[in-house]
A and B are shown apart, each in its own frame.
Chain A
Amino acid sequence: MKIRKKISLGFVILSIMLAVAGVFSIYELMEVGTSVQNLLDDNYNSINAGKQMIEALEKEDSGLMLLLSGQWKEGRETIRDADRQFQQALQTAGTNLTIPGEPDLVDRIRIRYMDFSRLWDRPIVGTDFEGNLKWYSTDVHSAFKDVKEAVQELIDLNDRVMYETATDLKSGAHRAVMPGIIAFASALVFTFIFNFFLQIYIVRPIITIIDGIQRFLETNKPVRVTIDTRDELQDLATSVSDLMYMARISK
Chain B
Amino acid sequence: MRPQIILRYVGIVLLFNALFLLISASISAVNSDSGLFPLLYSAVVTAMLGVFPLIFVPPTEHIFNDEGLTIVISGWILSSVIGALPYIMWGGPFTITNAWFESVSGFTTTGSSILANIEALPLGLLFWRSTTHWIGGIGIVVFMLAVVPATGQSAMVLYKSEISSLAADNFQHRTKKTLQILLVVYVGLTVLETIFLMLAGMNGFDALTHSFSTIATGGFSTKNSSIAFFNSPAIESVIIVFMILSGIHFGLIFVAVTDKPIRLWKSSIVRYYLCALAVGILLITFNIYGDIYETVSGALRFAAFQVVSLATSTGFANADSSYWPGFSKLVLIFFTLQCACAGSTSGGIKVDRTLIFWKSFIRQFRKLRHPKAVVSIRLDGAVIDPGIIEAGLLYIALYLIVVFISSLILTGMGVDLMSAFSGSAAAMGNVGPGFGMVSSLSNFSEIPAMGKWVLSIVMLLGRLEIFGLLMLIFYRFIR
Chain A contact residues, CB within 8 Å of chain B = 1, 6, 9-10, 13, 16-17, 20-21, 24, 27-28, 170-171, 174-175, 178-179, 182-183, 186, 189-190, 193-194, 196-197, 200-201, 228-230
Report Cα–Cα, A1/B58, bound state, in Å: 10
- We find that the number of chain B residues with CB closer than 8 angstroms to chain A is 26
Q: Smallest Cβ distance from B291 to chain A, in angstroms?
A: 43
> Do residues B45 and A183 form an inter-chain contact, with CB atoms below 8 A?
yes
Instruction: Given A171-B34, A171-B92, A175-B38, answer yes or no on A6-B56 (Cβ-Cβ < 8 Å).
Output: yes
Q: Point out the residues of chain B lying under 8 angstroms from A193, CB to CB.
A: 7, 52-53
> Do residues A16 and B58 form an inter-chain contact, with CB atoms below 8 A?
no
> Do residues B89 and A182 form an inter-chain contact, with CB atoms below 8 A?
yes
Since A24-B40, A171-B34, A171-B92 are in contact, a sample of 20 more A-B pairs with Cβ atoms closer than 8 Å, ordered by chain A residue number, is A16-B48, A17-B44, A24-B37, A171-B91, A174-B89, A175-B37, A179-B37, A179-B41, A182-B45, A182-B89, A189-B49, A190-B48, A190-B49, A193-B7, A196-B4, A197-B53, A197-B56, A197-B57, A200-B56, A201-B56
> Do residues A228 and B58 form an inter-chain contact, with CB atoms below 8 A?
yes
> Do residues B91 and A174 form an inter-chain contact, with CB atoms below 8 A?
yes
Judge if B377 is at the interface, Cβ distance under 8 Å.
no
Report Cα–Cα, A20/B57, bound state, in Å: 26
Judge if B3 is at the interface, Cβ distance under 8 Å.
yes
> Do residues A1 and B55 form an inter-chain contact, with CB atoms below 8 A?
yes
> Do residues B56 and A17 form an inter-chain contact, with CB atoms below 8 A?
no
Chosen A-B contacts, 16 in total, with CB atoms closer than 8 Å, are: A10-B52, A10-B55, A16-B44, A17-B45, A17-B48, A20-B44, A21-B41, A174-B89, A175-B89, A189-B49, A190-B52, A193-B7, A193-B53, A200-B56, A201-B4, A201-B56
Judge if B307 is at the interface, Cβ distance under 8 Å.
no
Q: Point out the residues of chain A lying under 8 angstroms from B48, CB to CB.
A: 13, 16-17, 186, 190
Q: Point out the residues of chain B lying under 8 angstroms from A10, CB to CB.
A: 52, 55-56
Q: Point out the residues of chain A lying under 8 angstroms from B44, CB to CB.
A: 16-17, 20
The 6 closest A-B pairs by CB, nearest first: A174-B91, A197-B56, A178-B89, A13-B48, A171-B91, A20-B44
> Do residues B89 and A179 form an inter-chain contact, with CB atoms below 8 A?
yes
Instruction: Given A16-B48, A193-B52, A201-B56, answer yes or no on A24-B7 (Cβ-Cβ < 8 Å).
Output: no
> Do residues B58 and A230 form an inter-chain contact, with CB atoms below 8 A?
yes
Judge if B85 is at the interface, Cβ distance under 8 Å.
yes
Chain B contact residues, CB within 8 Å of chain A = 3-4, 7, 34, 37-38, 40-42, 44-45, 48-49, 51-53, 55-58, 85, 88-92
Q: Point out the residues of chain A lying under 8 angstroms from B42, CB to CB.
A: 182
Nearest CB in chain A to that of B37: its residue: A24
> Do residues A24 and B55 form an inter-chain contact, with CB atoms below 8 A?
no
Q: Smallest Cβ distance from A235 to chain B, in angstroms?
A: 14
Q: Point out the residues of chain A lying under 8 angstroms from B38, CB to CB.
A: 175, 178
> Do residues A182 and B85 form an inter-chain contact, with CB atoms below 8 A?
yes
> Do residues A178 and B58 form an inter-chain contact, with CB atoms below 8 A?
no
Q: Smallest Cβ distance from B1 to chain A, in angstroms?
A: 13
Report Cα–Cα, A33/B441, bound state, in Å: 39
Q: Point out the residues of chain A lying under 8 angstroms from B85, CB to CB.
A: 182
Of the residues A1, A28, A170, A196, contact of B37 by C-beta under 8 Å: A28
Report Cα–Cα, A194/B53, bound state, in Å: 9
Residue with the greatest number of chain B CB neighbours at <10 A, chosen from A10, A27, A200: A200
Q: Point out the residues of chain A lying under 8 angstroms from B88, CB to CB.
A: 178, 182
> Do residues B41 and A24 form an inter-chain contact, with CB atoms below 8 A?
yes
Across the A-B interface, how many residue pairs have beta carbons closer than 8 Å?
Answer: 76
Report Cα–Cα, A229/B34, bound state, in Å: 44
Nearest CB in chain B to that of A174: its residue: B91
Nearest CB in chain A to that of B58: its residue: A230
Report Cα–Cα, A197/B8, bound state, in Å: 11
Q: Point out the residues of chain B lying under 8 angstroms from A178, CB to CB.
A: 38, 88-89, 91
Report Cα–Cα, A179/B39, bound state, in Å: 11
Of the residues A9, A182, A200, A201, contact of B41 by C-beta under 8 Å: A182
Nearest CB in chain B to that of A20: its residue: B44
Q: Point out the residues of chain B lying under 8 angstroms from A27, CB to CB.
A: 37
Of the residues B41, B52, B57, B91, contact of A13 by C-beta under 8 Å: B52
Of the residues A6, A9, A179, A186, contact of B49 by C-beta under 8 Å: A186
Q: Point out the residues of chain B lying under 8 angstroms from A200, CB to CB.
A: 4, 56
Q: Smallest Cβ distance from A164 to chain B, in angstroms?
A: 12
> Do residues B56 and A175 form an inter-chain contact, with CB atoms below 8 A?
no
Report Cα–Cα, A190/B52, bound state, in Å: 9
Report Cα–Cα, A174/B49, bound state, in Å: 23
Q: Point out the residues of chain A lying under 8 angstroms from B55, CB to CB.
A: 1, 6, 9-10
Q: Smallest Cβ distance from B403 to chain A, in angstroms?
A: 34
Q: Smallest Cβ distance from A13 to chain B, in angstroms?
A: 5
Nearest CB in chain B to that of A173: its residue: B91
Q: Point out the residues of chain A lying under 8 angstroms from B56, CB to CB.
A: 6, 10, 197, 200-201
Q: Point out the residues of chain B lying under 8 angstroms from A183, CB to CB.
A: 45
Report Cα–Cα, A183/B89, bound state, in Å: 12
Nearest CB in chain B to that of A28: its residue: B37
Q: Point out the residues of chain A lying under 8 angstroms from B91, CB to CB.
A: 170-171, 174-175, 178
Q: Point out the residues of chain B lying under 8 angstroms from A20, CB to CB.
A: 41, 44-45
Q: Smallest Cβ distance from B18 to chain A, in angstroms?
A: 13
Q: Point out the residues of chain A lying under 8 angstroms from B3, CB to CB.
A: 196
Q: Point out the residues of chain B lying under 8 angstroms from A17, CB to CB.
A: 44-45, 48
Q: Smallest Cβ distance from B98 to chain A, in angstroms?
A: 14
Report Cα–Cα, A20/B18, bound state, in Å: 15
Nearest CB in chain A to that of B52: its residue: A13
Q: Point out the residues of chain B lying under 8 angstroms from A1, CB to CB.
A: 55
Report Cα–Cα, A121/B92, bound state, in Å: 53
Q: Smallest Cβ distance from B90 to chain A, in angstroms?
A: 7
Report Cα–Cα, A178/B4, bound state, in Å: 29
Q: Smallest Cβ distance from B49 to chain A, in angstroms?
A: 6
Q: Smallest Cβ distance from A152 to chain B, in angstroms?
A: 28
> Do residues A197 and B89 form an inter-chain contact, with CB atoms below 8 A?
no
Q: Point out the residues of chain B lying under 8 angstroms from A171, CB to CB.
A: 34, 90-92
Q: Smallest Cβ distance from A199 to chain B, in angstroms?
A: 10
Report Cα–Cα, A88/B313, bound state, in Å: 65
Report Cα–Cα, A170/B55, bound state, in Å: 39
Q: Point out the residues of chain B lying under 8 angstroms from A28, CB to CB.
A: 37
Report Cα–Cα, A103/B340, bound state, in Å: 58
